[in-house]
Structure 1
Amino acid sequence: MAGNFVDYVKIYCKSGRGGAGSSHLHRDRLTAKGGPDGGDGGRGGHVILRGNDQFWTLLHLKFRKHIKAEAGANGSSGERSGREGANEIIDVPLGTVARDGETGEILFEITENGEEKILVKGGRGGLGNVHFKSSTFQTPRFAQPGEVSTEMWCVLELKVLADVGLVGFPNAGKSTLLSSVSAAKPEIADYPFTTLTPNLGIVSYRGFRSFVMADIPGIIEGASEGKGLGHRFLRHIERNSILLFMVPADADDIAGQYQILVNELEKYNPELLDKERLLAISKADMLDDELREEMSTLLKEELPENVNWMFISSVSRLGLDQLKDKIWKSLNDD
């Protein structure tokens, strides 16, 4: 499954050229020298991105590097306009960002199912000679050519859409938590970077309510500068409403690890710190009541006052219901 997740592609896009206007002059059995009756050329086809909630990866574009729309047809006599070139529509997952491949400028984002946005515009069709007729110029013998096509390299990046994003170092227990609270089955093992692609899970909450949780691949110190797979990992966090930080209970310095994670997010994009944050101390089943009490006292002193934290264990399910309560309240708090 991991090999099928593609969140970055660079594609060459070319719109259709516009059809030429016609410079035809009307002639029939009864008319030897009629006036202009040339029709307009048809517009060239656009290259369009369309949001599709059935797609979750850009894999279908990985080996389709050249995308070209159809040219518009030329105008003809009798003021008949040429046919418009067919648009080339590309279905993409929700959360896809389109960038100019040369400058890196963000062109737009696709966030809704069925949403369509033009990536490359087709050339306009040329005007037929009938448009250039006037009282002093009765028989124009020229027409406009169609506009040329537009071509460009475009970069498509996928940012996972989820209500809650799990943030932590490799092996912090994020995949285990996701598998415990949802039907998602991420790969889980006791070594760093088991998760190399984001995993999504739908978490059921007290009846028929639910929210979406994303297991983001583990962050390392220096990820904001591109270390490891830094930028590729971090961009998926931008779409999450709540960031759930996870630090294991056996970490040498829980407050220090939390601060490193916060620092990496701030360096990458300071706006990420405006999101709601929760801190889960994972793997708390390895602590007895007395150790949890001692650690609680220590964390109250070391963590910033505004940090909302709690102990959880995905194995023993300690604190999972309370965690879901907090998440639901944060998501639905006006």
Structure 2
Amino acid sequence: MPWRVAPADRLAGVAPDPYHVWMSEIMLQQTTVAAVKDYFVKFTQRWPTVQDLAAADDADVMAAWAGLGYYARARNLLKCARVVANELGGVFPSDEVGLQKLPGVGPYTSAAVASIAFDQSATVLDGNVERVMARYHLIEEPLPTSKETLRGLAAGMLPDARFGDYSQAIMDLGATICTPRSPACGICPWMEGCKARPAGMAAELPKKLPKAVKPTRFGTCYVAIRKDGAVLLERRPDKGLLGGMLGWPGTEWAVDAPDMRPPFEAEWTVLSEEARHTFTHFHLRLSVQCAVVTDDFDQDVGEFIAASDYDVNDLPTVMRKVWKLVNPTV
């Protein structure tokens, strides 16, 4: 992983970059390593230091984050970078208490950064570690109610030294061997002490409370394209879903289909297909309407972005899905 320092290098005195560790942990929140790698490289190449990131334009950072999801993380990334750069002299706090005072840094992230970047004794409890603890100690109480029990068990297994190496190793154990399905118990380095293995329950743990059924919301997007190729986009409010991101003008997203009123008069074409997307708490179904307007068209919604400046990859995934439906027709 591009943000890691190998154990041998750490023993030789090579310290992890707290900026890299912090950024990787923010990106990895509810996101896989495979999805994060390219974004991490892109961000650290474009903004090599926390000072560089702090000085970046909000729109540039949000565009670079597009597609990674959970966009509040990107806004907190900027807020945190600016606190560190402008109020803390570019130096990250080295302990959990100090780290948790930063925007967007909670108990898990503070423990991970303190442990991995600063080799502090801290209990890192992500989904992988929860799974390892539940199986190793045969905890049948379901998540999330068992979280604090698992945290206490994880704290009791901390070593006396090399806290950063241990934290990364136990997360890797859960990610590669003690996996959610078909755990590779036969090659696990902890197989002798694991209680779930002899009980034949490894694959059943951790148990989880049933998830609530996700509701479905509906809405409409309006894609206006000028004859010169410019597209009409608007920036969503900073607060709320997809906050601060560019997107197509449209209706609210509601459980009851909202009133479809185009933002302005034009010859709108209703597409036969919907754009569908699933967020953490709901499914979304978007009706799509498109129109081609004259180059001198005047509107008071959003802003036309010239074809030379428009990159669909700067849009969040759901907005890319809308464009994918429209693009073959223009």
Provide TM-score, normalisation by structure 1: 0.25
Larger Rg: 1
User: Which protein has the bigger helix share?
Assistant: 2
User: Which protein has the bigger strand share?
Assistant: 1
Provide TM-score, normalisation by structure 2: 0.25
